[in-house]
Amino acid sequence: MKILIYGLNYAPELTGIGKYTGEMASWLAARGHEVRVVTAPPYYPAWSIREDYRGKLYRTENANHQDPTEPIVYRTPLYVPAKPSGIKRMVHLFSFMVGSIPVMLRQAFWQPDVLFTVEPTFFGAPLALIVAQATGAASWLHVQDFEVDAAFDLGLLPARGPVHALALGLEKFFTRSFTRVSSISTKMLERALTKGIPQEHVVLFPNWVDIDIIQPQPIAALNSFREELGLQDKIILLYSGNMGAKQGLELLAPLATAFATGGAYADPRVHLLFCGDGAFRPQLETLVSGRPNVTLLPLQPFARLNDLLNAADIHLLPQRAGAADLVMPSKLTGMLSSGRPVLATADPGTQVAQVVGGDGLILHEPCGLVVPAEDEATLHAAAARLIADATLRATLGAAARHYAVHHLGKQQVLEQFERNLQSA
């Protein structure tokens, strides 16, 4: 197939949507498909365009298809705010669509079979549909985040009034025009159906993990992060990934306080390790400043990801109330594959609660503990329970690995996606 991928985020971004879109494009190209990608220069999660991509508005990578096993990648300009706010985010997203217009229109002459676009950003949906219509290509919208809903539900834009009504109306109109609409969880697909998308057009396309690269290390094994940080004998609670508004990271500072000397659950064995970058990181640094039981690390290269995830005794997955079915945290796949238990904040019935808590709808055994979103006291008590019970941690971690192997393996997910593309 000739597959045109249109999305804001792409490799070499190490986290979130860019990581998955990059891996998908490379996998499809290696399978023998002709793949082209229209995207932005890497900027996420630091909200700053990477230095080696500055100084040139448009650039093409693998232009003459020197490597036939990799896609041709077209980078287009966009505005990246240093401190993203609601309005600045909207301008940022809109600027990518505007900057990509000439490149996308030029791809119409290539005559793709499938035009695959990723939300965010939904601003690109009309342009994707225009190119698909002009070429007779199947159009596919893949929803990683329901960005329109999230913008209102998380308070980035006013949740009432004409702006709200207009945005939802446009979203419904354009979404229903795609040949296929996919998303990364069953709960997100249910939300898609409420927007009027026909059942036969909806496809599950979950995020995946390379279970051969991210795999459990023995608890007693030497770990490079524990060695470097002098944490060999600690019980580590790890948060790793994007540090943004929807993560609910403000819950982590009180958690550190609860286990520090003088805290409600004071325990000298406990250490919290936060690794990543994003808009909320400066605030998190301020909140945990001076706490001896907290270490902050920058985003780590992929080559060290398995060691990082295995440094944890417990993975932390905080989320703000209302976000759990608007977004499905991409970091969860690696947490599960590492064979460590997850402590998540999510409301009952949400996809995160079902996966981590094992409520019987998805798997038989829980992969961790789930507490209500933004409930500090219950979060602290659940953390104390896991810290005190090594057997429980081992049981939950084994279930997490089992779930990753049987539901999230990269090869099986992408092979099914390939079949769905051919069907479309």
Report how far residue 342's alpha carbon sits from residue 336's, in angstroms, rounded to the nearest whole number: 8
Q: Is the pLDDT assigned to residue 309 strictly greater than 90?
A: yes
Q: Is the pLDDT assigned to residue 158 strictly greater than 80?
A: no
Fold of 2-208+409-423: Rossmann fold (3.40.50)
Per-residue pLDDT, 402 = 93
Q: Is the pLDDT assigned to residue 190 strictly greater than 60?
A: yes
Report how far residue 278's alpha carbon sits from residue 159's, in angstroms, rounded to the nearest whole number: 25
What are the boundaries of each domain within the chain? 2-208+409-423, 224-407
154, 130 Cβ separation under 8 angstroms: no
Q: What are phi and psi of 351, to 5 degrees?
A: -60, -40
- pTM for this prediction: 0.86
Q: Is the pLDDT assigned to residue 361 strictly greater than 80?
A: no
Flag the least confident range among 145-149, 206-210, 362-366: 362-366
Per-residue pLDDT, 142 = 96
Per-residue pLDDT, 364 = 61
Show the tokens assigned to 275: 């690794």
Per-residue pLDDT, 254 = 95
Residues 19-53: tens digit of each pLDDT: 999 999 999 999 999 999 999 999 998 899 999 99
User: Is 224-407 the same fold as 2-208+409-423?
Assistant: yes
Highest average pLDDT, of 190-199, 224-233, 276-285, comes from: 224-233
Strand order in the sheet with 202-204: 59-61, 72-75, 34-39, 2-6, 114-119, 138-143, 180-183, 202-204
Per-residue pLDDT, 134 = 96
Residues 316-360: tens digit of each pLDDT: 999 887 665 556 788 999 999 999 999 999 888 888 888 898 765
119, 192 Cβ separation under 8 angstroms: no
Per-residue pLDDT, 421 = 96
Q: Is 376 exposed, middle or buried (0-12, 13-18, 19+ CB in 10 A)?
A: middle
Region 197-223: mean pLDDT is 92
Per-residue pLDDT, 359 = 62
Architecture of the domain whose range is 224-407:
3-Layer(aba) Sandwich (3.40)
Residues 67-84: tens digit of each pLDDT: 989 999 999 999 999 888
What is the chain's mean pLDDT, rounded? 91
The single residue listed with the structure tokens 């940022």 is 92
Report how far residue 11's alpha carbon sits from residue 96's, in angstroms, rounded to the nearest whole number: 16
Flag the least confident range among 5-14, 91-100, 117-126, 165-174: 165-174
Region 251-265: mean pLDDT is 94
Share of the chain above pLDDT 70, in %: 94
Per-residue pLDDT, 166 = 78
